[in-house]
Structure formats: C-alpha cells, structure tokens
C-alpha cells in the first residue's frame, strides 16, 4: 500500500497492530477519524493513554480496577470464601451479567499455552494457591474455557491446591439453553448425559 502522507501511514501502521485489524480496515478507521472533528481523535488518543498509564489491577483478584481493591472484592455483600477462577476480565463481566454468582473471582490473566510461550509463571496462579494455603477459601470454581489449554490450566492449578482442604468444582458443560439436541456435538451431549442433574434442580433457575 502506497500512502501519500507519512502521518497517515504511521497512523495506519499503528492501528493495524491491533488484533483483527488489517491495513485496509485500519485505513478506513483512520480516514473516518479524519472526517470527524478533531476532539474525537483527541478523546480517543487520550482515553487510551490515560488507561494505559493509570490502569490498576485489584490486589486481591487481579481484576482491572481504579482502586487498590475492585468493587467486587471490596463489597460486603459477597462471599469471599468462594472463588471463581477465570481467564480474563471479560469472563468476570460475562458471569456478573448473569446476576447468578455472589462470590469472589480470581483472574489468571490467560491460560497455560506452551505454543504461545505462556507458562504457569506468567499467570496469577501463586496468589491463588496462597489464598488456599492460608485457609481463606472454601470452594474454588474453575470457569476456564473448555479447550485443551483451559483443561491444562485447570489441572495445573488443581494439583497445586489438592493437598489443602478446599472444595473444587467446575462450571457445568452441556447443551445451551434453547439449543436443538440433534445439532449438539457428541462430546458435549455425552458429558451432559453423564453429568445429569436432578430434574427439580433444573426448575430453580428457569
């Protein structure tokens, strides 16, 4: 791509570093900004700079937070002895949106993935193990993606904490609510039969 302006080229190159944004999309976004009044670009640039410079992670659960403790960890209405282990803050937001969970979280910051060069030391695993060691947790709920990396991470964390007195559970895998049975994959359908629940329980959340 030949650009008629170095400034434009720089902006497009930086924009196309973002995941899923190619050169063409980057050019479209940048030209859009050029058509808008200057304050919009200023606001975008400043919000990114502010966020990167001042962002803070909760000391307890590693969720993104403006204070040393995030709102969830600081709340008195939540059970700090139940900890849901998730991959990143998007998962916290997704679970919070269900309004079904009143415990704490622990954000690992990723999954163990040797292919991407991410090992256990790159994740917030030690602080979780310490919480368990110190007897501050009754139950650990594993809520990672159901992929090979997710399962590996679950298992790694499980091995670290199994010596201590703590209940471990994992979120239920099964057919999505509203899904047709015939289109479900075999593994999911198989698991949903093996891990069937008493019928009365299924009435509670509906």
Please give the residue ranges that form the binding site for its own copies (CB under 8 A).
1-8, 10-11, 13-15, 17-21, 25, 27-34, 38, 40-56, 58, 63-66, 70-72, 88-90, 92-93, 96-97
Q: How far is the CB of 48 from its own copies (least distance, A)?
A: 5
CB neighbour burial string for 138-160, b if at least 16 within 10 angstroms, e if fewer? eebbbbbeeeebbbbbbeebeeb
Q: How far is the CB of 75 from its own copies (least distance, A)?
A: 12
Note the maximum CA span of the chain.
68
Q: How far is the CB of 70 from its own copies (least distance, A)?
A: 5
Quick one: CA dihedral 66, 98, 156, 60, positive or negative? Answer: positive
Taking the C-alpha atoms of residue 53 and residue 185, their distance in angstroms, rounded to an integer, is 45
Q: How far is the CB of 171 from its own copies (least distance, A)?
A: 20
Strands 139-142 and 79-86, sheet pairing? parallel
Nearer to its own copies, 69 or 175 (CB): 69
């Amino acid at each position: 791509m030949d650009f008629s302006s170095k400034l434009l080229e720089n902006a497009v190159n930086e924009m196309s570093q973002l995941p899923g944004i190619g050169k063409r999309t980057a050019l479209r976004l940048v030209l859009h900004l050029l058509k808008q009044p200057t304050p919009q670009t200023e606001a975008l640039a400043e919000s990114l700079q502010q966020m990167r410079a001042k962002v803070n992670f909760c000391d307890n659960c590693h969720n993104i937070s403006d204070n040393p403790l995030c709102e969830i960890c600081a709340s008195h209405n939540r059970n700090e002895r139940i900890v849901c282990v998730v991959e990143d803050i998007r998962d916290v937001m997704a679970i919070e949106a269900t309004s079904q969970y009143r415990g704490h979280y622990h954000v690992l910051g990723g999954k163990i993935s040797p292919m991407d060069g991410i090992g256990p030391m790159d994740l917030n695993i030690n602080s979780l193990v310490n919480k368990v060691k110190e007897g501050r947790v009754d139950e650990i709920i594993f809520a990672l993606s159901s992929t090979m990396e997710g399962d590996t991470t679950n298992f790694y964390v499980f091995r670290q904490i199994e010596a201590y007195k703590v209940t471990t559970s994992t979120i239920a895998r099964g057919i999505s609510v509203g899904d047709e049975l015939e289109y479900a994959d075999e593994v999911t359908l198989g698991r949903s039969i093996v891990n069937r629940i008493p019928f009365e329980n299924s009435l509670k959340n509906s």
